[in-house]
Amino acid sequence: MKIKRLVIVGVGLIGGSFALKLKQLGLVEEVVGFGHRVENLHKAVELGVIDRFEIDLAKAVSDADLVVLSVPIGVIGELYARMQPYLADHTIVTDVGSAKGSVIADVTQTLGFCPRLFVPGHPIAGREKSGVEAVEADLYVNHRVILTPNDHTDTQALELVQTLWSAVGANVSVMTAQFHDEIFAATSHLPHMLAFALVDMLNEHSELGNVFQYTAGGFRDFTRIASSDATMWRDIAVHNSSAIVKWLKEYQTELTRLTQLIEKQDAPALFDLFSAAKSARDRHIVNK
């Protein structure tokens, strides 16, 4: 299925990688980029990620077949409202935000309705580095992409977006926005919060000083995601706050249990906990 014009709003790693692969596959005739940093847009053209760019939103989305909103989730609703008057009747819009319930709510609130050609999405293939220079054509190969349509979503629009994500190598799943937000609060958002908190706690610690000079592989593996974009994760924390708080409290309960076992030096119980966790990870992740 080939589309004539794809518009990437926010040309960076996520939207850029999607566009570049579609271009390589010959599934899109023209890719138009939109953004406010002209130097970034010029670089995107130089790298072959987009064919041309616009700095006027109305001109950018004019007669687009598909618009990908690859921007912080906190601005998606406002951005959708700005471009809505200039969208053609056939234009499908999707996003790449990590929290879906709030995005759908924001779009619905700003527009006064939920567009039938809006297909909320979330590709699970990020990196710590962002920007157009980090673009990878094969970024989505064997990675999961979640689509969260609702009762208003047009079936053909959903099928098109699903087909394009599958074409770039992604494994596409469809679920409700609520279920998505619970899953990723527990498995993605929570680990990021823990990594940020640990690094912040130890940074120039009054007792330990510059402890980072002594860190080894385990610490670096665990805290790698604390190098992720602060703006993006601030928005995720705010826009999926209820689910994240729920799982932070669950984790606090688990930490309390672990603390008590260590205080009591309960070796058998500690072994059982560690062994069960190792077995679960080996079974579900390591060999996957």
Query: The dihedral of CA 50, 53, 56, 62: what is its sign?
Result: negative
Give φ, ψ of 9 to 5 degrees: -95, 105
31-42, pLDDT tens digit by residue? 999 998 999 999
DSSP character string of 191-249: HHHHHHHHHHHHTTBTTTBSGGGG--HHHHHHHGGGGS-HHHHHHHHHHTHHHHHHHHH
Distances (CA, A) of 210 to 12, 196, 216: 33, 17, 14
Question: In this model, does residue 128 exceed pLDDT 70?
Answer: no
Q: What's the average model confidence in pLDDT over 30-56?
A: 95
Domains detected in the chain: 3-175 (3.40.50.720), 179-286 (1.10.3660.10)
Contact 284, 187 (CB under 8 A): no
Residue 49 has pLDDT above 70, yes or no: yes
Q: Mean pLDDT score of the chain, rounded to an integer?
A: 94
Residue written as token pair 């689910």: 243
235-275 pLDDT, tens digit each: 999 999 999 999 999 999 999 999 999 999 999 999 999 99
* Predicted confidence (pLDDT) at residue 187 exceeds the cutoff of 70: yes
Q: pLDDT tens digits for 60-102?
A: 999 999 999 999 898 999 999 999 999 999 999 999 999 999 9
Give the per-residue pLDDT at 34: 97
pLDDT at 129: 64
Share of the chain above pLDDT 90, in %: 87
Q: According to the model, what pLDDT value does residue 1 have?
A: 72
pLDDT at residue 175 is higher than 70:
yes
Is the pTM here over 0.85, yes or no?
A: yes
